[in-house]
Amino acid sequence: MDGRYWAWLGVRLIVGVVLVGWAFSYLSPGGGSGEKEFQRSLNALQKVQSVRIALTTDEAPTQHSEMLWEVSCPQDAYHYKWHMVDSSTTTNNEISRDEMHVGNIEYDRQSDDSWLRAKYPDGLNPKNLCSRLNQGGDNGMMPAIATMIKRGILQKGDKKTVGGVRCREWHVTIKAGRGLEHDTVCLGMDDHLPYEMTVDSRHLRAAYSDYNSLPLTLPDAAVQPASASSSSN
């Protein structure tokens, strides 16, 4: 009887240790399979040369913003579009920007859909933007994968389809200030790239698409110098 009791107790202890180890690996920040999958995503992001990012957010009850980033590093260019509506006022309650950055030059879209070179360029240089993108770290456009690995509690969710791509949703909890921030990131089943992100605290959703297959239609003024120089040779 004593032998069977101690054998039974030993099995219970072993099972308990295994379960505690599994739970710690699964729920600890950056632990287990989540850390490995997010590291694959970080490595994949370093190879991205172009991407489209469509973002919506309601950071205040009366404000709704929509942003579009289209980045093409081989063309040394990006397109940025922003539209914000503030329903708390009836005057000047909308702000819109539509910019194309090519090299060091910014073009602003006019009411007739033509592009006009800006006198005072604003925003990042495309080379700097692409450098930040290729580093794969936290760059303000893509999900903060590096921070999620270091500080996040990563929990595996269900598979779903975003923009025609199968991805797995991960639930990420990060300590932010005095509270916790709850995010989700959907990572591609095949390429490990992010295809969707949500941030509860900012009522934000971002969709990512057209990885490495996004040629931009540049303003005529941006391509004329290259055409003129080639014809003169």
Q: What angle do CA 163, 168, 173 make, to 5 degrees?
A: 115
- The Cα 13–Cα 15 span in angstroms is 5
**For residues 145 and 37, is the Cβ–Cβ distance under 8 A?**
no
pLDDT of residue 82: 95
Architecture of domain 34-228: Clam (2.50)
The answer to whether 72 and 50 have CB atoms below 8 angstroms apart is yes
pTM of the model: 0.80
What is the reported pLDDT for 101?
A: 96
* d(C-alpha 125, C-alpha 103), whole Å: 7
Q: What is the pLDDT of residue 231?
A: 45
d(CA 52, CA 45): 13
Q: What is the pLDDT of residue 60?
A: 83
The per-residue DSSP string of 22-76 comes to HHHHHHSBT-HHHHHHHHHHHHHHTT--EEEEEEEEEEETTEEEEEEEEEEGGGT
The answer to whether the Cα torsion of 143, 146, 147, 151 is positive or negative is positive
Question: Which segments of the chain have a pLDDT < 50?
Answer: 1, 4-31, 226-233
- Output the pLDDT for position 7: 42
Task: Give the model's pLDDT for residue 2.
Answer: 52
Task: Give tens-digit pLDDT for 118-157.
Answer: 988 887 889 988 988 887 667 778 999 999 999 899 999 9
Residue 152 contacts residue 172 (beta carbons within 8 Å): yes
Between the CA of residue 7 and those of 3, 11, 12, what are the distances in Å? 6, 6, 9
Contact predicate 196/208, CB 8 Å: yes
pLDDT in tens, 8-36: 444 344 334 333 333 333 444 444 689 99
Quickly count: other Cβ atoms within 10 Å of residue 82's Cβ. 15
What pLDDT, on a 0 to 100 scale, did the predictor assign at position 136? Answer: 67
